[in-house]
């Protein structure tokens, strides 16, 4: 039976890492996947995570199942991080959170929930968006539409185009927004734009859904939630898929959350019962370890402050790399103005390199970046930026 199966294409991001690992060339650079690396090229376990693990190891008494939606302590910690400690939605019990296996697991839960409970609505994603979004929604049988987001000429946001496209959305359609550090462009909405968009979603009765995977990587943990909080203040219903892969560096622990805000506590509780039902038939109940670490750190005043500093350190190093990348591209004589790279937020730079150039970078210089031209700045180091920019100069001629 298996002889008839046709091979699936490699994943554009994780497949690239597999290719990178099997590349025998010594001087290779992986700027494909969004993983933070320090100046030595390592992805260290955060100090606060190690401390939390020591505490958990000593006090853990059981490996029994968690409940379908995970622990309530984790859910509350996630909600406070998203909406603020004193948020009305929390006080009014209009919000519920299901612990999910990573941000992708949370998005998949969301997709199933939308398909089963909201019917044949469209999910609007930005053009461009994270390479996995389309696949996740399509896997749940949802149709996906794209709204303009990026102007290739100005290398900036196309907000007018975004509004134009979303005006054609129909009532109940879902609009997927990146909470901060838009993946792949690194270009985020400003306060006025968030407000304008919230008005549009309200007027047209669209359901906002936030993919929030980089909280803390643009300006700060609190600051980066500004857009989500504007929406929470003005929209009665919304969804959030969030992740702790990046800001807790807990990539392989798969710690994420799917959060729903409803009009009333009762509406939310009813909808949440359906979400639990979906989780039960996909993975039954979530893994405990990563979420226990996050809960402990967020609820401990000292560890929380130390963790915020660790996030700041990661953010600042990436910003430094952005500056150095721009300076070195100029030094190497690469044509063009690259200042836009310093305006982008988060791990990625949408470089404007085309598919042919990306292919040459891999084949001739063993530099791996995603075919859209997205470069993970978080994978750059002082020691490889020179080699990288020389390679870019060679393919840009």
The binding site for ligand LMR (CB under 6 A) comprises 13, 33-34, 130, 132, 183
- CA–CA–CA angle 187, 144, 164 (5° rounding): 55
* Residue 256 and residue 105 in contact, taking contact as beta carbons nearer than 8 Å: yes
Q: How far, CA to CA in Å, does 50 sit from each of 53, 101, 249, 289, 290?
A: 5, 21, 11, 12, 11
List, in sequence order, the alpha helices (H) in 88-184: 88-91, 102-113, 133-139, 159-167
Q: Are 99 and 320 in contact (CB under 8 A)?
A: no
Is the Cβ of residue 33 or residue 334 nearer to ligand LMR in the bound state? 33
Please, are residues 221 and 76 in contact by the beta-carbon 8 Å criterion?
Answer: no
Tell the smallest beta-carbon distance from residue 242 to ligand LMR (Å): 13
Give burial (CB, 10 Å; 0-12/13-18/19+) of 184: buried
Quote the least distance from Cβ 130 to ligand LMR, whole Å: 5
Using the minimum distance from each CB to ligand LMR, give the nearer residue, 71 or 371.
371
Identify the burial level of 345 via C-beta atoms within 10 angstroms of its C-beta, where 0-12 means exposed, 13-18 middle and 19 or more buried: buried
For ligand LMR, the closer CB: 48 or 183: 183
- Rg (C-alpha) for the chain, rounded Å, is 21
Pick between residue 132 and residue 268 the one whose CB is nearest to ligand LMR: 132
Q: What does the DSSP assignment read for 49-73?
A: HHHHHHHHHHH----PPPPTT--HH
96 versus 132: smaller Cβ distance to ligand LMR: 132
Q: From the CB of 346, what's the least distance to ligand LMR, in Å?
A: 10
Q: Could you count the other beta carbons within 10 Å of the beta carbon of residue 12?
A: 15
How far is 345 from 339, CA to CA, in rounded Å? 13
DSSP track, 329-342: HHHTT-SS--THHH
Q: Report the nearest approach of ligand LMR to the CB of residue 241 (Å).
A: 12
CB nearer to ligand LMR: give 33 or 303.
33
For the four alpha carbons of 349, 351, 356 and 359, in that order, the dihedral sign comes to negative
d(Cα 337, Cα 325) in Å, to the nearest integer? 12
Tell me which residues are annotated as active site.
130, 211, 246
**Contact (Cβ atoms closer than 8 angstroms) between residue 106 and residue 100:** yes
CB-wise, 183 or 366, nearer to ligand LMR? 183
Considering the complex, what minimum distance in angstroms separates the CB of residue 38 from ligand LMR? 18
- For residue 12, the minimal CB distance to ligand LMR (Å) is 8
For ligand LMR, the closer CB: 83 or 130: 130
Structure token digits, residue 389: 């920019």
305: which 2 tokens?
A: 């402050």
Separation between Cα atoms, residue 205 and residue 197, nearest integer Å: 12
**Farthest CA pair distance, the chain:** 62
- Nearest-approach distance from CB 129 to ligand LMR, in angstroms: 10
């Amino acid at each position: 039976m298996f002889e008839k199966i046709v091979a699936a294409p490699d994943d554009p991001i994780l497949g690239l890492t597999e290719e990178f690992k099997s590349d025998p060339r010594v001087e290779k650079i992986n700027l494909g996947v969004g993983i933070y690396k320090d100046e030595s090229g390592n992805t260290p376990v955060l100090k606060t995570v190690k401390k939390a693990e020591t505490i958990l190891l000593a006090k853990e008494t059981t490996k029994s199942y968690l409940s379908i939606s995970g622990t309530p302590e984790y859910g509350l910690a996630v909600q406070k991080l998203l909406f603020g400690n004193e948020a009305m939605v929390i006080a009014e019990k209009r919000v519920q959170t299901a612990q999910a296996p990573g941000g992708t697991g949370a998005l998949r839960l969301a997709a199933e929930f939308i398909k089963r409970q909201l019917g044949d609505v469209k999910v609007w994603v930005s053009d461009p968006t994270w390479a996995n979004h389309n696949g996740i929604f399509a896997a749940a049988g949802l149709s996906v539409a794209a709204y303009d987001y990026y102007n290739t000429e100005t290398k900036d946001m196309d907000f007018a185009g975004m509004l134009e496209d979303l005006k054609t959305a129909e009532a109940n359609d879902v609009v997927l927004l990146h909470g901060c550090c838009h993946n792949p462009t690194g270009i985020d909405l400003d306060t006025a734009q968030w407000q304008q968009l919230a008005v549009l979603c309200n007027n047209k009765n669209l359901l906002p859904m936030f993919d929030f995977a980089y909280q803390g990587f643009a300006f700060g943990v609190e600051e980066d939630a500004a857009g989500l909080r504007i929406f929470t203040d003005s929209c009665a219903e919304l969804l959030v898929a969030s992740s702790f892969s990046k800001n807790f560096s807990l990539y392989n622990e798969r710690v994420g959350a799917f959060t729903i805000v409803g009009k009333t506590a009762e509406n939310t509780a009813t909808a949440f019962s359906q979400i639990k039902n979906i989780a039960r038939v996909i993975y039954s109940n979530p893994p405990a370890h990563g979420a226990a670490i996050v809960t402990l750190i967020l609820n401990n005043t000292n560890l929380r402050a130390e963790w915020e500093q660790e996030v700041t350190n990661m953010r600042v190093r990436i910003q430094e790399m952005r500056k150095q990348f721009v300076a070195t591209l100029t030094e190497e004589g690469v044509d063009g103005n690259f200042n836009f790279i310093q305006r982008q937020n988060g791990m990625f730079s949408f470089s404007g390199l085309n598919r042919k150039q990306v292919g040459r970078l891999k084949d001739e210089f063993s530099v791996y970046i995603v075919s859209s031209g997205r470069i993970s700045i978080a994978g750059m180091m002082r020691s490889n930026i020179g080699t990288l920019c020389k390679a870019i100069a060679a393919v840009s001629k």
